Amino acid sequence: MIPRDPLTDEIRRRQRSRAIVTALALGAFVILVYFITIARMGGN
Amino acid sequence: MTSTTCTQATALPAEWRDFVALTKPRVMTLVVFTGLCGLLVAPVAIHPVLGFTAVLCIALGAGAAAALNQWYEADIDALMKRTASRPLPAGRMDRQSALHFGVGLGFFSVILMGVATNWFAAAVLAVSILFYVLVYTVWLKRRTPQNIVIGGAAGAFPPLIGWVAVTGQADPLPLLLFALIFLWTPPHFWALSLFVRSDYSRAGVPMLPVVSGPRVTRVQIMLYAVPMAIAAVAPWPLGLAGIVYGVAAAVLSFAFLVLSLQVLVNRAVEPAAMKPEKRLFAFSMLYLFAIYGLLVVDKVLAA
């Protein structure tokens, strides 16, 4: 059995949490662009 | 031992919380609030989604400027107690990540502002970011004790951006609001730098109290407080705001002047005896929030 490297585990944990936050931000951006489009179309 | 710890720390990817910390969220509150007030006092209405996006862009632009400021100033931040725990000096993030994050966020905020509102607002936002990073951080901060006088203009942009996002043009009221923050910044920061003088001195930042001493700084605080008070009350006699705003702004500005006068007559050199300076610093933040909030209240009452 190969012992787990705590440093690698910590890197993986940070990468995972950053990936989740980035995904949430991108999702929010997509929703925002949708509503901006609707608002600007309504204005015209 | 220390260097090993530092190498390990920087070898790890930064936490997402450190990227948030890089945007100086506490400073951003004032930026967002003044930007929102600029947007709300504009004479025409904006679609709520576009208004929200404009304020978001102002916040992201301020965050980008803060990230680039910390990228450039990591060396002096490490020398000051107040800033040593920031992500870069504390070794929780590498400088390249901060630079990429700041530049990316800056471009994103400007483009989104242009797409959602208008390109004039986007241009003013771009100018405010570049002004803070290039003029204040890179050029002035380490060279002249007048750094925050001219650099203060960067923090004065948000209400103007908010207004321009709605109207597409710069009018007298947002220019007065710009002048108010521009004139408010020196008394606010010099009050702070009087009681954290040793920090700035250690980092070699030529803040006015370090270069010219407390006496000159206290006189300068008073000299800026007077035109600031005039700029704060001016919208009322000029017919740009109502009596509710005018009277409240006059009372608050009078209180600001009294506190500045207490600073002027204080002879203390040790931070422990600088109660008037600490009072002025605390009140100055409340003052700006109140003045801008009152302008919105006045507009709502007049409607």
Q: Which residues of A touch B16 (CB under 8 A)?
A: 17-18, 21
Which residues does chain B have within 8 Å of residue A7's beta carbon, measured at their own beta carbons? Answer: 8, 12
Q: Of B211, B234, B86, B220, which Cα lies nearest the Cα of B142?
A: B211
ipTM: 0.86
Q: Which residues on chain A are in Cβ contact (under 8 Å) with B14?
A: 14
CATH homologous superfamily for the domain B16-169:
UbiA prenyltransferase (1.10.357.140)
Angle, helices B95-116/B119-130, rounded to nearest 10 degrees: 160
Tell me the shortest Cα–Cα distance from B254 to chain A, in angstroms: 43
DSSP annotation string for B62-122: HHHHHHHHHHHTHHHHTT-TTTTTSTTTTTSS-HHHHHHHHHHHHHHHHHHHHHHS-HHHH
B46 has pLDDT over 70: yes
Query: In B, which residues are within 8 Å of A40 by CB distance?
Result: 50, 116
pLDDT category of residue A43 using cuts at 50, 70 and 90: low
Euclidean distance between CA atoms B33 and B228, whole angstroms: 19
DSSP B136: I
- Average pLDDT for B158-185: 96
Instruction: Please measure the distance between the N-terminal and C-terminal CA atoms of chain A and give it in whole angstroms.
Output: 66
Alpha-carbon distances, residue B197 vs B80, B84, B269, B300 (angstroms): 10, 16, 10, 42
Statement: residue B112 has pLDDT above 90 = yes
User: Looking at residue B140, what DSSP letter applies?
Assistant: I
What pLDDT is recorded for position B10? Answer: 52
B5 pLDDT above the threshold of 50: no
Tell me the average pLDDT across B86-96. Answer: 93
**Residue B217 DSSP SS3:** helix
Report A:9-28 residues touching B (Cβ under 8 A). 10-11, 14-15, 17-18, 21
Q: Closest chain A residue to B113 measured between Cα atoms?
A: A36
DSSP codes of every residue in A1-44: -PPPPHHHHHHHHHHHHHHHHHHHHHHHHHHHHHHHHHHHHHH-
CB spacing of B15 vs A18 below 8 angstroms: yes
Question: Least CA distance to B92: which residue of chain A?
Answer: A14
Q: Is the per-residue pLDDT at B101 higher than 60?
A: yes
- What's the pLDDT at B182? 95
Encode pLDDT of B143-155 as tens digits: 888 888 888 888 9
Q: Sign of dihedral through CA atoms A44, B170, B31, B42?
A: negative
d(CA B132, CA B138) in angstroms, rounded, equals 9
Among B12, B14, B116, whose Cβ lies nearest the Cβ of A36? Answer: B116
Is the per-residue pLDDT at B95 higher than 80?
Answer: yes
Phi, psi of B45 (to 5 degrees): -90, 155
